[in-house]
Amino acid sequence: MDRRAYMGAFTALFLATAAGAVAAKEEYPSKPVKIVVGFQAGGPTDVVARLLAKALQDELKGTFIVENKPGATSNIASEMVATAPADGYTLLLAAAPMTMNRFVYPKQKFDPLKSFVPISKVSSAPGVFAINPKLPIKNFKEFAAYAKASPGAVSYGTTGAGGTQHMATLRLEQLSGLKMLHVPYSGGSGVLNDLIAGVVDAAFMTSTGAMSNLEAGKVRPLAVAGPVRLPGIPDVPTFAELGLPGMVSDSWNALLAPAGTPQAIIDKLAAATVKATRSAEFKKILIPQGAVLIGNTPAEFKSELEAEVVHWTEQFKKIQIEK
C-alpha cells in the first residue's frame, strides 16, 4: 500500500471511529437505566424516584427502571451505585441521610463527595411530626406533657439511625426536654404503616408521600418542621409558631451518578431532570404535599453537598448516635 492509500485508509478509519463515538453519545440511553432507591417502595423517596423515572423516560426516549435497595439508612443503595460502572446506566436517587451516614457507619465504602457526580437536586420537603390518632392527644403541648410523664416509654419510628427523621427527633428532644424510645426501620413506608397501626407512638414524616394519610386522619399531625404551614394540613402549626423556631427538618431527594460518568451524560440527565421539576405533572403531585421543586445544576448541587457535609460534621460532634 502506497503512502497516499495508507493515509486515505487511516483517515477513513479515524472518521468512522469519531462518528461512532458521536453516535454512541447521541444514543444514550441505548439500554435500560436503573435508578436505585435506598428505601422501601411507597416511601417519599420512592415517590419522587418513580415520578422522575417516567419523566426521564419520556424526555430521553429510553427505559428508566426504579430498583429499591433499602437498608442501613440508604447505605446499601449508595454503595451499590458508587461501585457500579460509570456509564450512566446505574443512577442513585439519594436522600438527605447520604451526607450523614459516614458519621453513623464509619466503615461505609463510599464518600458522598468523591464517589459520585452530582446531577441535580430534585426536591425538598419539610418533616411533619405526627402521632398515632388513638393516643389521647390533640396537640403538641399535650404530647410533650404525655411524653415527659413517662420518660423513655413513648416510642418513635425512623428510617434508621443517623437519618433525617432520627436527627430531627433528637433535635426535638434537645429543644423540648423530651426522652423517647427510638425504633429504626428500613424505609418510610414501614414507619408510616406501624404509626398507623399504633406499633410506634410518633414519627417525623416527610410530607412527600405521607400527605394523603395526614389529610385522611390515619395519623395525627402535630407540627410542621418547616417555615410555613402546608396547604394539605393548614390547621397544623409550625414548630416556630409553637415556640421552637430551631426545630427545622428538611428532607431532600437528588439524582447522582458514579464518579467518572462522562460529562455529556451528566449534562443530558441534568437538563432532563430540571425540565421534569418544571413540569405540570411534578407540580400537580408534589407541591400539594408540601414539596419544594428545585432542579438545580450539577455545580450548584455539588456546592450544596459540600456545605451539608460541613454542617453535619459539626452537628455529629454534639450528638451521640446509638445504632
Query: For 84-100, how does the pLDDT look when each residue is reduced to its tens digit (9 = 90+)?
Result: 999 999 999 999 989 98
Burial of 74 (0-12, 13-18, 19+ CB in 10 A): buried
Angstrom distance (rounded) from CA 277 to CA 66: 18
Mean pLDDT for 13-19 is 44
Q: Could you tell me which residues are beta bridge partners of residue 183?
A: 157
Q: Which of 86, 104, 102 is nearest to 256 (CA)?
A: 86
In the chain, the percentage of residues whose pLDDT exceeds 70 is: 90
Angstrom distance (rounded) from CA 296 to CA 256: 12
Quick: pLDDT tens for 140-171: 999 999 999 999 999 999 988 888 899 899 99
Q: Which fold has domain 126-224?
A: D-Maltodextrin-Binding Protein; domain 2 (3.40.190)
Cell numbers standing for residue 8: 486515505
Q: Could you tell me which residues are beta bridge partners of residue 34?
A: 65, 90
Q: What is the CATH number of domain 20-124+250-316?
A: 3.40.190.150
Q: Which of 125, 52, 133 is nearest to 287 (CA)?
A: 125
Q: Which of 209, 252, 251, 257 is nearest to 56 (CA)?
A: 257
Quick: pLDDT tens for 52-70: 999 999 999 999 999 999 9
Which amino acid is it at 95?
A: A
Cβ atoms within 10 Å of 272's Cβ, excluding its own: 20
Angstrom distance (rounded) from CA 270 to CA 284: 21
pLDDT band at 317 (very low <50, low <70, confident <90, very high): confident
Q: Which pLDDT score is estimated for 84?
A: 98
Question: What stretch of H or E contains 224?
Answer: strand 220-224
Distance of CA 282 to the CA centre of its chain: 16
Is 15's pLDDT higher than 80?
no
pTM score of the predicted model: 0.78
Angstrom distance (rounded) from CA 86 to CA 83: 8
Angstrom distance (rounded) from CA 282 to CA 292: 10
Q: Where in the chain is the domain with CATH 3.40.190.10?
A: 126-224
Angstrom distance (rounded) from CA 205 to CA 196: 12
Burial of 323 (0-12, 13-18, 19+ CB in 10 A): exposed
Q: Where in the chain is the domain with CATH 3.40.190.150?
A: 20-124+250-316
Cis-peptide, bond into residue 245, ω within 30° of zero: no
Angstrom distance (rounded) from CA 218 to CA 202: 12
Is 22's pLDDT higher than 50?
no
